[in-house]
Structures are given as structure tokens and as C-alpha cells.
Amino acid sequence: MRSSADHAATTWSWLLSMVAIVLLGACDSEICARHSDCVSGQVCSASGACAIAPDDASPSDSSDGGSDAVVIDAAPDATTDATLDGGP
């Protein structure tokens, strides 16, 4: 009894491990399903691509500091640079 249950468990574990290894080999990290699959400042769109997060489309939890970085990087680049460069 003990040996047959253990044997079955071992067999299934081995088979599923093989499946996992095959799936790992076929990984495509370009497609996302979770927002946290994307780098900071991006969200996962419905199509499975990471995109820059607009302010009102960021995930509901505000503890992610990513969207702040996007706002700083995206819009004021030219203005900030021009102002800084033009000064001294």
C-alpha cells in the first residue's frame, strides 16, 4: 500500500517536472499577464504587452512608486533640459 502510493506520487512528480522543464524552455518573457511582470513605471495591457502607465490607468494600489518615475521621465524632459541647459 505504502509503496504503490509513493510510486504513483513519484511518477506524477517526475512527469510534471518534465512538463515544467519543457515549459521553462519555451518561456516568452515578453508577454505579461501581471502588472508586476513589467518594469517599474509600466503596466500590463489587455493585449499582454507592457506599456507606460498613464496616471489614471495605473493599478489601484498606490504603493508602487513606479508611476511617479514615468511622469518625471515622460513629459517634462524637453522643458526641464532646456531650462537647465539654458541657465548658466
Partner 1 sequence: MRSLLLIMVLVASADAESLWEAELRLGYGVAMGGGGGMTSTRPTPLTVAAVGAVAVRDEPYTYGYGGLVFETLDRNAVGVLAGVRLVPRDSRVRLAGGGVLMFAPYTLWGATASAGLCRGGSIRICGDLQLTAYFAGSDLAAGHTVTHLQFVLGIVFDAL
Window contacting partner 1 (CB under 8 A); options: 5-13, 71-79, 80-88: 5-13
Find the shortest distance in angstroms from Cβ 19 to partner 1.
7
Cell of 29: 518573457
| CA 67/CA 75 separation, integer angstroms | 12
Q: Which residue has the cell 524552455?
A: 25
Restricted to residues 8-37, the positions that interact with partner 1 (CB under 8 A) are 9-10, 12-13, 16-17, 19-20, 23-24, 26-29, 31-37
β-sheet bridge partners, residue 42: 52
- 43 close to 50: Cβ distance less than 8 angstroms: yes
Residues forming contacts to partner 1 in the complex (CB under 8 A) are: 1-2, 5-6, 9-10, 12-13, 16-17, 19-20, 23-24, 26-29, 31-37, 43-48, 59-61, 63-64
